[in-house]
Structure 1
């Protein structure tokens, strides 16, 4: 199989999940709670984050869910708010959240493009937030395709974004790889007929990926070596 397209998840794949989102999430919770410590603890529990360590639980809805799905978990504790209003507030705040690259992104992506790969991003984050994060990292020009959960292709684990990438780059899905840090990513890629590459810069442990991934790598910086050795 000769891979021609590489489709990356964003959070936990291009960017280290815990380092990028732990402190941000606690700050967002404190802002929502407006000084109510009991409410803050309830919101943290709903979002699956430890207030003491700022670490996410493996089953946190934030890790793979869309912003709408995350905000639906806290809606019961936020009387007077709608799910849409909470989602809008989260998206606006998240777009400004500093991101910590999982590896040196610019040289990696430049190398892959020079080797002829089409590159894309498929994230369950909002498209606007994803574009802001990628532009802030200085890698906006590296990608031929970018989609968020709200771009019209559906959200992972459905394969819509994966298939849209293949169409946008005139490639067969089987000539593409989906690269991600969650089972949502791998399920979407597999349903689209893509090669599935798991990376360990998210929250899920490597052993969770083994039955679903064609290969499990420490981070995306190991992709060129893996491609060479195939």
Structure 2
């Protein structure tokens, strides 16, 4: 079926996950632990982050879970902040992360817009972080819809935020593609009745995504050729 609209996940999809978030997490854990190595190790274990490699493990909840869920996992080891403060801190910290786009984003998104496609972003990060990052990448204005886990539509893998995009953009779910790097993204797409494009710029391997996707591509840059198939 033709694709009229594309809804993108953010981390691991528009931005390369490891290149963007591995270093950020090392600094975050150092800041939150305040020099307490035991707390740092406990937090790293809670989010499945390898301190020696300075890298997330493939089973980390950070890959697909919401900002709220990450805060809840870290909260027992952060005595100097309550949960609400920690949730806000994570969102503010993520908003300033050093971004590594998966492809040159402006040119890629402009090529989709030139084809008449409607574009959106749905992330389990906070909406403020998403908009800040997209603005810093110079592409916020390409999207008709940007939502996070705190935008009032829920979080993936529930279909509600995806359907909110379709309603806001005036597009049919069946003619919309959900583009993401995790099972959460693709399961949400299936539940919403969307076409599903998996990409390999996150932590998941092709074999993990393939059973849940219509197509698995190396990165988002291959989408125009797929649409012209």
State the partner residue of 1:23. 23
Q: State yes or no: 1:33 paired with 2:28.
A: no
Aligned to 2:174: 174
Deviations, residues 195-227 of structure 1 (Å, cap 9, x unaligned): 000000001111101110000000000001111
Alignment partner, residue 191 of structure 2: 191
Q: CA deviation at 1:19?
A: 0.3
- Note the 1:1-230 alignment, pairs <5 A: 1-79=1-79, 81-229=81-229
Note the alpha carbon deviations across 1:24-79, whole angstroms, 9 max, x for none: 01100000001111211111111111111122111111111111101111222233
The alignment of Structure 1 onto Structure 2 pairs a total of residues equal to 229
Alignment partners' CA distance in 1, 2:71 and 2:169: 33
Asked whether the equivalents of residues 22 and 56 of structure 1 are also in contact (C-alpha less than 8 Å), the reply is: yes
Q: TM-score, normalised by structure 2?
A: 0.98
- Structure 1: give runs of 5+ residues left out of the alignment: none
Conservation of the 8 A alpha-carbon contact between 1:9 and 1:122 = yes
SS of alignment partner, residue 203 of structure 1: coil
Q: Is the 8 A contact 1:72 1:83 kept in 2?
A: yes
Q: Deviations over 1:110-129 (max 9, x none)?
A: 00000010000000010011
Deviations 1:154-208 (A, max 9, x none): 0000011110111111111001000000111001111000000000000111110
Partners of 2:118 and 2:101 in 1: CA distance: 20
Asked if 2 retains the 8 angstrom alpha-carbon contact of 1:26 and 1:44, the reply is: no
Q: Displacement, 1:80?
A: 5.2
Question: 206-215 or 78-87, which moves further after superposition?
Answer: 78-87
Contact (CA 8 Å) 2:4, 2:117: kept in 1 or not?
yes
* Contact 1:5/1:119, CA 8 A, preserved across alignment: yes
RMSD (CA atoms): 0.9
Structure 2 CA distance for aligned equivalents of residues 30 and 193 of structure 1: 42
